[in-house]
Amino acid sequence: MPIIEETRTGFRRPGLVLALLAFAQLIISIDYNIVYVALPEIGDGLGFSAQSLQWVISAYAVAFGGFLLLGGRAVDLFGPRRMFVLGLTLYAVASLAGGLADAPWLLVAARAVQGLGGALLFPATLTLVSTGFAEGRERNRAFAVWGTAGGSGMILGSLLGGVLTQAFGWTAVFYVNVPLAAAAALAALPLITSSALPRAASRRFDLGGALTATTGTTLVVFALVQGPESGWTAGPVLAAAAAGAGLLAVFIAIQARGKDPLLPLGLLRGRDLSAGALVTFLYMATFGTLLYFLTVYFQLVQGYGALRTGVAFLVPMAAIVAGSQLAGRLATARGVRATMIASLLVGLLGTLIVAASLAVDASYLALVPGLVVLGLGQGAGYTLMFGAATAGTSAAQQGIASGVASTAQQIGGAVGLAILVAIANSPGIGLTGEALRAATTDGLRTAMYIAAAGIGLTALAALGFTPARHGSADAPTTTKIAA
């Protein structure tokens, strides 16, 4: 396969494009959490059972995690611009369908389509940031803006969900996405030009790899999501886990023999991508669970309502924004690996401070120092890890590399939450009233200490990234593109 060298010229209007990419990432992040606070009203309004209500959340997570590899490869084959617009379109249509849903199965189906949209949109957005901005200061700044949107959006979703649900009812958390996603899709058409964007020249599609990867990953994510609800020894959970593992083994065999595989296995031997997959897995298994535990603490222990819980997250959101912006500047001056490790250590310290501050009668002000330190480290780490994971990958394979890193992110979040929730809930089994509040606090504190230990492991894993290349921060980037 011949290789063409193309000097990246970037976007004609880079500032507007970066704002659009950050806005798309904000939509993805908000959608993760905006539904949480509306769940009680959704359950009452549509008649969900206590057992089925979780699938308003899980349908999104399963589809998102299951289709990421397919979405990443589609970005390489058909171009990030097309997948960016298609992902946003699916978000808008599915959000409208969710707001109009009058039966539980319709809402669950709409959430699954939202997840599919996210699986196309996330790798497309990450690829556009990675390939559209020159290596060094320009790209670090782009990732800082992108990471700010992603990190703060997860918290903003909780606040926005509380405001919309209280003011307009649960349907508003779906309707709000429709104009946002539609406007972003329309803006992409003139702003993101395809002339300088990389795309794999081969248009052959690995159907066997796509089917086994998507079905296998979906079943594994289903097992991880359903396990805490049904029990890890439940028949459907064990069957899904076994079938998913078997299909993924078949997928690897297909990739090893295929001429044009969905996932070229040689990519996984790259230092940055292999380290990045491990870092994103551990980051989400640790940092990614803390928002859930803080929500439980605020609502079940402190008795906050949905709106007050959202307001309580404004402090860590501000810290995440500050950490994201600081990370971009430090990465340019000190290198991505050193900054990534430092951010994880700061987040580790913040997690320990927050865990030590948890108490049944603690005031919100007692938590603020820990939340600030935690937010700084969390925001900086999120900003850097995806760019570090895909740094050594050619432009024409950025989509699938982004899919690998984000699949590790999704599975890591599901694994970490399943393990840490079980630990957090165990002290309160069978208790009620004040005893339950005290036991819940103890369980949350223990889970956060374990998460802190996991963050320490993440910092060790980040040592696997390529050290900084001095003197290249502002050098023009030449990309090898398969033709």
pLDDT in tens, 436-457: 999 999 999 999 999 999 999 9
In a domain, 208, yes or no: no
Task: List the domain range (segments joined by +) for residue 423.
Answer: 14-190+262-467
Q: How many CB atoms are located within 10 Å of the residue 195 CB? A: 6
SS3 35: coil
In a domain, 214, yes or no: no
Tokens 């590899």 correspond to: 69
Give residues with Cβ within 8 angstroms of 121, minimum separation 6: 24, 27, 28, 71, 83, 84, 87, 88, 91
Residues of the chain with pLDDT under 70: 1-10, 50-51, 194-204, 468-483
In a domain, 450, yes or no: yes
Rounded Cα distance, 312 and 158, in Å: 10
In a domain, 127, yes or no: yes
SS3 4: strand
Rounded Cα distance, 2 and 483, in Å: 6
Is 177 within 8 Å of 91 (Cβ atoms)?
yes
Q: Supply the pTM of this predicted model.
A: 0.84
How many structural domains does the chain have?
1
In a domain, 203, yes or no: no
Q: Which of 277, 250, 110 is nearest to 177 (CA)?
A: 110
In a domain, 219, yes or no: no
pLDDT of 339 reads 95
pLDDT of 198 reads 54
Cα distances (angstroms) measured from residue 314 to each of 216, 266, 297, 351: 38, 43, 16, 17
pLDDT of 60 reads 87
In a domain, 119, yes or no: yes
pLDDT of 150 reads 81
pLDDT of 87 reads 96
| Helices then strands, each counted (H, E), the chain | 17, 2
Q: What is the DSSP letter of 480?
A: E
Taking the alpha carbons of 468, 378, 365, 444 in that order, is the dihedral positive or negative?
Answer: negative
CATH code for position 336: 1.20.1250.20
Q: Which of 330, 320, 313 is nearest to 377 (CA)?
A: 320
SS3 116: helix
pLDDT of 469 reads 53
The alpha-helical segments, DSSP class H, found in 53-79 are: 55-78
In a domain, 47, yes or no: yes
